Amino acid sequence: MTKKTTELDNVKKATAIMFAALVKSLEDTAPGLNEGFVVNLDTAYTKIREDSDDLNALETISWTRSMITGFDIVSGQTKPFFD
């Protein structure tokens, strides 16, 4: 089991931000792309949860999804990270 650390959380957050930035940039040239990306994130989340329950991977996927959509289960709907 991976030990939870501030450094690990920072890496996961930075990873989520980089993917959210990439999706935002691509959405500007290919409208609708982020919806497909979020569907793929949901599929990946389900597969990882079923296959390994890797909490670090699940958290990174969840943070990325939240940054793109502005929604998370705790806070509800807010603004996406780049809006």
pLDDT digits (tens, 9 = 90+) for 45-77: 999 999 998 999 999 999 999 999 999 989 999
User: Which residue bears the tokens 């501030």?
Assistant: 6
Residues 1-7 have a mean pLDDT of 74
Backbone angles phi, psi at 80, to 5 degrees: -60, 155
Question: What burial class does residue 75 get, using C-beta atoms within 10 Å of its C-beta: 0-12 exposed, 13-18 middle, 19+ buried?
Answer: exposed
What percent of the chain has a predicted confidence (pLDDT) above 70? Answer: 96
